[in-house]
Amino acid sequence: MNGAANAPNWVTASSGGVLQIKAYHYTGTQSINSQQAYTNTNIAVAITPTAADSHFWIIGSISAGSQNHDSNAVFNVHDSALGSSYNTANQRCFTDPSNGGTGTGDSNEGYMSNHWSTGSDGSADNYKVQQSMVWGMYNPASDSSSARTFTIVCKTHNGSSSNGININGNAQSGNDNHSMRASSRIEVWEIANGIYS
């Protein structure tokens, strides 16, 4: 209102902030045994940016059971605008850390959420299902308002096809009364350039 509080004043709204939100709730099941190579999950969402220079706040939640007492997994996010190779570092949204591993340990390193089993205690893994997270602010290297798809990618244990994970599934003992099933989700928030630092 104006100073006398008897007439409205109109202003142009700011164009900053959250521009849109896209989400996908995955309730199916998927087994992954990638043996240290990133592979796509079925947890993905498409978005067409409203501005070419937008950033993206990505939040992924992955439910999975370990297939074996030696199972583990790490996660990252792939941007389809970068190409089709999940295993090329510059085609994933986030940089995997270098945590000082040696030998095969290096390729077990991932951006976020070490989904882990309980080592030698195989009995615990008969029933254990975990919720892992992967999230972060992604600023594409090149501006584009073209449609793109963000997919959670996963890398599992070295050396054995039985050391993977069951997304939205039970642990190694199968469908058991003691093991709960859950679901997974990804959300992508398009954020106006200059809002996040």
What radius of gyration do the chain's Cα atoms show? Answer: 21
Residue 49 inside a domain? The answer is yes
- Is the predicted pLDDT of residue 2 greater than 50, yes or no? yes
Q: What is the mean pLDDT of the chain?
A: 81
Quick check: 91 pLDDT over 70? yes
In a domain, 149, yes or no: yes
CB neighbour list of residue 138: distance below 8 Å, 6 or more residues apart: 55, 56, 57, 58, 77, 79, 93, 94
In order, the DSSP letters of 70-105 are T-EEEEEEEEGGG-S-TTSGGGBSSPPP-----GGG
Total number of domains constituting the chain: 1
Any domain includes 11? no
CATH code, 34: 2.60.120.1340
Which residues constitute the domain of residue 162? 18-191
Q: Is 24 within a domain?
A: yes
Residue 6 belongs to some domain of the structure: no
Q: How high is the pLDDT of residue 104? A: 47
pLDDT bin (cut points 50, 70, 90) of residue 69 is confident
pTM (predicted TM-score): 0.83
> How far are the Cα atoms of 22, 69, 74, 123, 130 from residue 146, in angstroms, in the given order?
15, 43, 29, 49, 35
CB 134 within 8 A of CB 112: yes
- Hunting for tokens 């959670």 — which residue is that? 152
Residue 94 falls within a domain, yes or no? Answer: yes
Instruction: Look at residue 57 and tell me if it is in a domain.
Output: yes
In a domain, 2, yes or no: no
pLDDT at 29 over 80: yes
CB 148 within 8 A of CB 82: no
Of the candidates 163, 124, 149, 159, which has an alpha carbon nearest to the alpha carbon of residue 31? Answer: 163
Per-residue model confidence as pLDDT tens digits over 134-176: 999 999 989 999 999 999 999 887 766 678 888 988 776 665 6
